[in-house]
Structure 1
Amino acid sequence: MIRLGIIAAPGPAKNITYKIKDELADNLKHSLLTDDEWEIDIIVDPLTGETEFSEKIFARTDEYFRDYGWDFLISITDLPLFYKDKTVVIDIDTSDGIAMISIPAFGWRPLKGKIQTAIINTLSIINKIYQGEDNIKDENSALNKMFTFSKLVFSKDFFEDSKTRHLLFHLNSKMGGAARLVTGMTFANNPYNMMQSLSGVTAIAFATGAFGIIFSTMWNLSYLFPTWRLAAISVLAIFGMLLWIIISHDLWESYKESGSRRITSLYNSTTLLTLFISLLFYYLLLYLLFLAAGIILLPPDFVAKTIQAEHIGVRFYLELAWFAASLTTVAGAIGAGFQDKQVIQESTYGYRQRMRYQENEEENDEL
């Protein structure tokens, strides 16, 4: 029996790990050509998502490794990891064979298959290190195939602080790595969850707009406005609401809190993208609701007579819904200011990290 320990951070790392646990055991036996069965133990530990310094994570996982007597140990973190300003995907401590995999480095929606491939090839590399082999060409090729628009390279280095030797697989492009991290961290934020937290705002906006579309003023304006004006109004409404939510819920990270300009920039970029995607969902939902309401409530002949138009077709209803969604987004922004602040904040990376810091400090105080 070969025992593999996986230390996963709370959230996406934990969810993916539990989903692949049974399948991973079978694939490991097949891929590593061993007759032994694999037993996988999963432990969820906030530390693997609590600090940007991988040395602390390795120190904690090393304790687990000794205490549980596993044959292999991999930690799965939802944190961005770096090596000489390059985004790290896999970090292997060759001194004891413990490895760490960063989920955000895989980009938006890290598929279970990719995480399995990373774990299997990481274990294959560790096994070769144990046997004194240096040829990891096959494993590096398999890992590289997962990064279509980026090149994955590996480097060997000695970390003076921890007195350990590491084999690091990192993306060769700084820009490509940053883009993957932002999209991967946005996925971890789950924009859909933030959209759900805005459900009350959607109700306020729709109630406001539903009252407005029964009056001819909105009909006339949407009918007379050119497309560029309707587009400008929608852009201003969405970005205005985005800015208001950031300000009213203290979502913008400062350098003083994180202590790292790079981390601060990543967190703020992730918050912006998460909010933008959530608000697009919000806006689309409002648009569809107003489109349905307009078609049901407003007879075309009556509207044409009221606004003195020759003909009212599908385009009128499409533009009316567009205009109504934009106007009521402003009302929604006001309502967003009264939403539960913590619910919104929990959908951002920086807030969750601060909570993990606090939990870890409280645990240390109790010891």
Structure 2
Amino acid sequence: MPVKDPSDTLDADADAPAPPDAGVAEDEAADGEAADGETADAADGEAADGEAADGAVAEGVGGPERHEQTLVIGLLADPGLPTELAEYLAEELPDALADTPVEGTRYRFVVVRETLRRLGDARGERMIDLAAERANREGWDFALCLTDMPVHKGERPLVAELSRGEAAAVLVVPALNVLRLADEARELVAGMLVEWAARERLARGSRPLVRITERTPNLHQLEPDDDDDVDVRLTRSAGPLWMLAGMVRVNRPWRLVLGLRSALAAAVATAAFGLVSNPVWQVSAAMSTLRLWISTVVSLVTIICWLIMNHQLWQHARSADRVVRRQIRLYNAATVLTLAIGVLVSYLVLFVGNLLTGWFVVVPDVLSESIRRPVGFADYLRLAWLVSSLATIGGALGSGLESSDTVRSATWGDRYRQNRPQAGKRHKSRRGHAAGHRAHGGEESHHE
């Protein structure tokens, strides 16, 4: 039996066709290796993305953070114009002061209307002490008093003062600019809030601050005393006439016209009689212009003096202190000037009404027959002039029927009487939301 050569066996195996499953296995193996490569690439990519994300997070942690913080600001205001001014500030300042001094800072204002008492100039009796005490009691971050009481520092009118440590401030409304009252008040309050909030809230990325001295360059800042807790005190170089004008502006003397309804009714009744009186026609035609002016002055002085005496509007200085006596003089001057403006406006309204009524009712032929000469427009002017003066004196008698509170509310005659706590309702209102509650005897409203 022949023996096979081993080389022949190897050659035969090499020439023999490969099994079908062999090629498939090799292809699957190749595909598997490719898939493994793609998986590895994807894993590498995800790892790279993860590292990038971690780097971004790490960078964000190291960058500036934004903290939302809401500061509650209480505005304590005297009734009348100070309260209206406080409501205006509460509407305007939240948006104007947003993100000041740092990003995320928000302001919420609470307006409380009540009569503010100022006991004196000693520490603990000042208006700024009242604001600090009220802020602590209410839980406010800051408190501001808007007072209609005139305040002086030396010989200068005090406009505003700020205590950073007490988180309190005072704004004297009569010392503000009469022609731009709201604008100056907005700049002053915004400046004081920035000065206070920037003390401990300055941080990296804070907005540039506009200091109070830059907002109100026309005011003078006094240097604080060594033992004084007031950090910023602003005064005006104007004299007492500036404060007097501000006090009259706070009184709003035009309200006196509507307040003296009984006096106006008596004046109209007197005028109606005078316009159809033949003796009055003859006297008006015969009187000189000087006499008519004198009659006007006498009638105005008469009703002003009657109002002061009848309603006890004149203040008497019972103290020998020079500052107190100066305050009393200011009160009396503001009372007289307020009454003079209100009565003068009433006189002018009465004069125009008498002129139109006389021109319509008094027939020219009848008036001409009475004064025995041709009638012109000047005769109707003189008639209305005289009748208005007579009617004003008649209105003084009618003013005695007015309530003293009605007259005092428009003057400074009894301002000390109002310096006592007032009981009243307190309401809370938000934009789109309102709810009522009572607390501390004043009217309150919230603004954000």
How would you bin the TM-score normalised by the shorter chain? 0.7 to 0.9
Evaluate the alpha carbon distance shift between residue 220 and residue 152 of structure 1 in structure 2; reply closer, same or farther with a 3 A threshold: same
Contact 2:271 2:388 in 1 (8 A): yes
Counterpart of 2:222 in structure 1 is 155
Matched residue SS, 1:112? helix
**Counterpart-to-counterpart distance in 1, 2:421 and 2:71:** 36
Identify if the C-alpha distance between structure 1 residues 31 and 329 changes in structure 2 by more than 3 Å, giving closer, same or farther. farther
1:73 is aligned to 2:143: yes
Give the C-alpha shift of residue 325 in structure 1.
0.3
Instruction: Give the counterpart of 1:12 among 66, 81, 84.
Output: 81
- The answer to whether the 8 Å contact 1:159/1:165 transfers is no
Alpha-carbon separation, structure 2, partners of 1:335 and 1:40: 45
* Contact 2:101/2:201 (<8 A) preserved: no
Could you state the TM-score of these two structures normalised by the residue count of structure 1? 0.84
Taking the aligned partners of 2:389 and 2:92, their CA distance within structure 1 comes to 47
Identify, as 1 or 2, the structure richer in helix.
Answer: 1
CA gap of 1:342–1:5, structure 2 versus 1, over 3 A, is closer
- Indicate the residue corresponding to 1:87 in structure 2: 157
Q: How does 1:202-281 map to 2 (within 5 A)?
A: 202-256=264-318, 260-281=324-345
Which 5+ residue runs of structure 1 have no aligned equivalent? 145-150
8 Å CA contact 1:89–1:169 kept in 2: the answer is yes
Cα distance change, pair 317–170 in 1 and its aligned pair in 2 (3 A): same
2:410 to 336, 347, 354: 347
Q: What is the distance in 2 between the residues matched to 1:83 and 1:61? A: 19
Moved more, 193-202 or 255-264: 255-264
Residue 205 of structure 2 is matched in structure 1 by none
Q: Which has the larger radius of gyration?
A: 2
1:290 aligned to 354, 358, 381, which one? 354
Q: CA deviation at 1:305?
A: 2.4
Q: Distance in 2 between matches of 1:32 and 1:238?
A: 55
Q: In structure 1, give the amino acid aligned to 2:406.
A: V
How much does 1:251 deviate?
0.8
In 2 relative to 1, CA 298–190 (structure 1 residues): closer, same or farther, beyond 3 Å? same
* Whole-Å separation in 2 of the counterparts to 1:75 and 1:335: 39
SS in 2 for 1:337: helix
- Structure 1: how far apart are the matches of 2:421 and 2:133? 21
Matched, 1:356 2:419: yes
Answer yes or no: is the 8 Å Cα contact 1:8–1:43 preserved in 2: yes
Displacement, 1:44?
2.8
Identical residues among aligned pairs (%): 24
Where does 1:181-220 land on structure 2 (aligned, <5 Å)? 181-220=243-282
Larger deviation, residues 95-104 vs 251-260: 251-260
Q: Secondary structure at the match of 1:100?
A: strand
2:99–2:105: 8 Å Cα contact kept in structure 1?
no
Alignment of 1:43-62 (within 5 A): 43-47=112-116, 49-51=117-119, 53=121, 55=123, 56=125, 57-62=127-132
Deviation at 1:2, TM superposition (A): 2.7
Cross-structure match for 1:125? 195
Q: Give the CA deviation at 1:211.
A: 1.1
Instruction: Please tell me whether the aligned partners of residues 2 and 71 of structure 1 are also in contact (alpha carbons under 8 angstroms).
Output: yes
Task: Give the secondary-structure state (helix, strand or coil) at the position aligned to 2:159.
Answer: strand
Residues of 1 paired with 2:149 and 2:274: CA distance?
Answer: 46
Post-superposition shift, 1:263?
Answer: 1.2
Alpha-carbon distance in structure 2 between the residues aligned to 1:342 and 1:69:
35
